[in-house]
Copies of this chain bind each other. A is one copy, B any other.
């Protein structure tokens, strides 16, 4: 017997993966959590029926949501991740030599606990002594911590369920407030093929708060359309003006200094979304 897990990524298209084992299924206060073993992508974390991360392709998303903002800032010391309970972003952040403190604010404690149990390759960074894990609402946290962070990373689920408010202008103003005067932030902003209205919305709202707003792209096979966007709002530093040769030399599988700049070179239809 073959078991296939299918995610309907939109009403009209889906990805289907052959599975070998269902390891965990749980309904928490916030969402439905599942961990399955897939033949193509290895172990997979699924929240509310949507693929969050897999052992085989998680490196793309986690490297690109962290190293692009961290290397845009000349010396990021205090870094906040909102969401990201799997720990993958934290694992990348603690590679960065200037980081002194990495705070993870995850609303659902069970995502962290399940990831620690079933996804040690991804969650390993959570045990680093620089890391502080807080179980709380990210929106509340940024409101209560003004002028605190150099870099904020919004590693959220899709804009349904607990994450809806993380795509609003009000939230971006709170993020602005929680950043130091030369701080910057990045949010995952979905697929330019399938979520054009959302990208336009986020870009417009972030542009209304931050003097510099830029979108960049990376290829994540298990995410809808395979092409994923990230939108950065920055108070001072331009991600395209970095000196690639000065980037710290920690190991990566996707990110490079050249790709940092290359990720901002957009296909024409994506440029047109941002006009």
| Residues in A lying within 8 Å of B, measured CB to CB | 4, 6, 10-18, 38-41, 57, 59-60, 193-194, 217, 219-221, 225-227, 252-256, 258-259, 261-262, 265-269, 271
A261 to B261, CA, bound (A): 11
A97 to B57, CA, bound (A): 41
A57 to B221, CA, bound (A): 16
Chain B residue numbers with a CB within 8 Å of A60 are 267
Chain B residue numbers with a CB within 8 Å of A262 are 262, 265
Chain B residue numbers with a CB within 8 Å of A269 are 59, 253-254
Minimum Cβ distance to chain B for residue A208 (Å): 26
**Contact with A12, one of B18, B226, B252, B259 (Cβ below 8 angstroms):** B18
Please name 7 pairs of A and B residues whose Cβ atoms are closer than 8 Å in the assembled complex, sorted by A: A13-B15, A13-B40, A15-B15, A217-B219, A219-B219, A219-B225, A226-B227
Chain B residue numbers with a CB within 8 Å of A16 are 6, 13-16
Given the known A-B contacts A13-B15, A41-B13, are A253 and B227 also in contact in the complex, defined by CB atoms under 8 Å? no
A121 to B256, CA, bound (A): 38
Is A259 touching B265 in the complex (CB atoms < 8 A)?
A: yes
Instruction: Specify which of A15, A17, A226 lies most central, judged by the most chain B CB atoms within 10 Å of its CB.
Output: A226
Chain B residue numbers with a CB within 8 Å of A256 are 265, 267-268, 271
A52 to B253, CA, bound (A): 30
Given the known A-B contacts A12-B17, A13-B16, are A252 and B268 also in contact in the complex, defined by CB atoms under 8 Å? yes
- Which chain B residue shows the least CB distance to A60? B267
Chain B residue numbers with a CB within 8 Å of A40 are 10, 12-13
